[in-house]
Amino acid sequence: MNPIAEQLTELRARVEAHRADITRFMRELCAIPSMDSQIRSVGERCAQEMRRLGFAEVRFDVMGNVLGRIGQGPRIIVFDSHIDTVGIGDPAQWAWDPFVGKVEDGVLYARGACDEKGSTPGMIYGLALARDLGWLDGWTAYYFGNMEEACDGIAPRVFVEHDPKVRPDFVVIGEPTRMQVYRGHKGRVEMKVTAKGRSAHAASNWLGDNAIYKLLPVIAGIRDLDPRLRAHDFLGKGTITVSDMRVSTPSINAVPDEATLFIDRRITFGDTLESALAEVQAIVDAAQADAPRADAIRLELLQYDTPSYTGFSLVVDKYFPAWALDESHPLTQAALAATELAFGQRAATDKWDFSTNGTYWAGIAGIPAIGFGPGDERHAHSVLDQVRLDDVVQATQFYALLPAMLEAA
C-alpha cells in the first residue's frame, strides 16, 4: 500500500482537530482591512500563526510581503496567497459589516473571503502538517502572503529577483478554483490613449478643440475590435474594452483640453505585447488622420510605479503574459493525485477568467505553477464575497499532500 495513503487517516484526524483553529484564523484574517496593498497588519497575523506552528523562518521581505519557511531541502515549493483585497465600495450595498462578516449555512461572507484570504489558513496549516508527517523531507517550502491586487506578478518578481532571491521549482497559487486544479489563464495589457485639444469657454466652444470628441472614433474602434479578437481552445477568446476615462478641463463650463482613455486588453496564446499595441495604434492612426498635429492622440503602455507601504519601489510595464501548464505536467498530475487522495475523487482541471500572480511565475519566469483554492471567482470583488468554511478546512489536506505527491511522481 502507498505509505502516503496509509497516513491519510492521521492527516484527516489532524486537520479535523485543527478545524476550530483554522476557521477562527480565517475569520480573523478577514476582520483585518488590507486594501490598497496595506498588508502589514494582516501579514503580522499570518506571521503570528506561522510562529505558533513552528515555521523555521518567518519574516517580511523588502516589499512588505510576509514569508514563512519550513525546511532547507534542495527542492523548493512556494504556496502563494495574496492577502490584500480590493476596497468595499459603497458601504450601503453591504447587508452586513464586510470585515466582521457573517456565517450562514456554513458559508463565510466577508471582504477577502473568496479573493483570496480563503487559501491562507489551509496553506499555513497544510505546510505545518506536511512537516509533522515527514512529507517535507528534502524540501524547502514557503508560504508567501503577498500584495497582488494593484499589480499582478510584482510580488513574485520581488521574491525571485530581489528578496529572498529564491527561484522555486513549483508554485501553488491560492486564488479561488472551486477546489479544482487550475492551470492557466489569459494575460493582460493595460494601455492609455491621450488626446490633446484646446480649451475655450463652453459658450464659445467653436473657439476650442474638444479633446473628448477626438477619442470618439477610438472608442468606437475598440468596441468594434473586440468581437474580431482571436481565441484559444483552452484559454478562450481575447477581449478589449475601455475601462476608464479621465478628462482635464478648466471647469465644467469649458471645452476640455485633454482626455484619456484607459484600455484593458486580455490576451490569449498567439497575441503578443507588440500585436496588442499595434491593434490599438492602428485605431489611433485612423482617428487622427485629419488631426492638425501628429501627436494629437497618443497611445502608451501603462507602468506600475507605486511604492509599497515599506517604501520599496519597482517600476514594471503593465504587461502580463498568458500562460498554461500542460495537463500532463508532473505538477498538474501530482495536484490531481492529491485531490483524489484528499477528497476521494480526482478533481477537474480548468482555468481562471481573471489574472493572477501566475503571469510572473509561469508567464515570465517559466516556473511551473498550478492553482488550487476554496471559493468561486464569480464572488470576487463583490458584496457577496464568500467561501465555504468546510472548503477552507478541507483544502488543508490538499496543501499538505502536494509535496508528497510530487516526491512520489
Q: What domains are there in the chain, each with its CATH number?
A: 3-185+322-408 (3.40.630.10), 187-304 (3.30.70.360)
Task: Judge residue 1's burial from the number of C-beta atoms within 10 Å of its C-beta, 0-12 exposed, 13-18 middle, 19 or more buried.
Answer: exposed
Interatomic CA distance for residues 194 and 259, integer angstroms: 6
Is the pLDDT score of 152 beyond 70?
Answer: yes
**Phi then psi for 290, rounded to 5 degrees?**
-105, 15
- Read off the pLDDT of each residue in 167-180 and give the average, rounded to a whole number: 98
| Helices (H), ranges, 18-173 | 19-31, 40-52, 120-132, 154-161
Is the pLDDT score of 149 beyond 50?
Answer: yes
Cis peptide before 116 (omega within 30 of 0): yes
Is the pLDDT score of 292 beyond 90?
Answer: no
Q: Report the candidate in 11, 6, 61 with the shortest Cα–Cα distance to residue 39.
A: 61
Please say whether the beta carbons of 121 and 51 come within 8 A: no
Is the pLDDT score of 242 beyond 80?
Answer: yes
pLDDT band at 289 (very low <50, low <70, confident <90, very high): confident
pLDDT of residue 285: 94
Percentage of residues in the chain with pLDDT exceeding 70?
98
pLDDT band at 254 (very low <50, low <70, confident <90, very high): very high
Please say whether the beta carbons of 148 and 155 come within 8 A: yes
Q: Report the candidate in 371, 20, 388 with the shortest Cα–Cα distance to residue 184.
A: 371
The string of pLDDT tens digits covering residues 92-148 is 999 999 999 999 999 999 999 999 999 999 999 999 999 999 999 999 999 999 999
Residues in Cβ contact with 23 at an 8 Å cutoff, skipping those fewer than 6 apart: 121, 389, 392, 393
Please say whether the beta carbons of 153 and 360 come within 8 A: yes
SS3 66: strand
Residues in Cβ contact with 103 at an 8 Å cutoff, skipping those fewer than 6 apart: 109, 389
Q: What is the pTM of this model?
A: 0.96
pLDDT of residue 290: 66
Is the pLDDT score of 89 beyond 60?
Answer: yes
- Read off the pLDDT of each residue in 155-182 and give the average, rounded to a whole number: 98
Place of cell 531541502: 73
Place of cell 508554485: 171
Which segments of 271-383 are extended strands (E)?
297-301, 303-304, 316-317, 319-320, 323-324, 349-352, 369-371
Q: Report the candidate in 88, 184, 17, 79 with the shortest Cα–Cα distance to residue 398.
A: 79
pLDDT of residue 291: 60
The catalytic site residues sit at 84, 148
Place of cell 464569480: 378
The string of pLDDT tens digits covering residues 384-396 is 999 999 999 999 9
The string of pLDDT tens digits covering residues 196-209 is 999 999 999 999 99
Question: CA-CA distances (angstroms) from residue 88 to 29, 214, 235, 323?
Answer: 15, 35, 30, 30
Q: Report the candidate in 355, 361, 382 with the shortest Cα–Cα distance to residue 175.
A: 355
| Helices (H), ranges, 93-173 | 120-132, 154-161
pLDDT band at 4 (very low <50, low <70, confident <90, very high): confident
- Read off the pLDDT of each residue in 60-71 and give the average, rounded to a whole number: 98
Is the pLDDT score of 294 beyond 60?
Answer: no
Computed over every residue of the chain, the mean pLDDT equals 96
Is the pLDDT score of 5 beyond 80?
Answer: no
CA trace torsion 40, 42, 43, 45 (10° rounding)? 130
Interatomic CA distance for residues 155 and 35, integer angstroms: 16
Q: Which three cell numbers stand for residue 191?
A: 494601455
Residues in Cβ contact with 162 at an 8 Å cutoff, skipping those fewer than 6 apart: 61, 62, 63, 314
pLDDT band at 1 (very low <50, low <70, confident <90, very high): very low
- Read off the pLDDT of each residue in 260-278 and give the average, rounded to a whole number: 98
pLDDT of residue 219: 98
Is the pLDDT score of 293 beyond 80?
Answer: no
Q: Among the listed ranges 3-17, 26-40, 267-281, which one has the minimum average pLDDT value?
A: 3-17
Interatomic CA distance for residues 356 and 230, integer angstroms: 21
Percentage of residues in the chain with pLDDT exceeding 90?
96
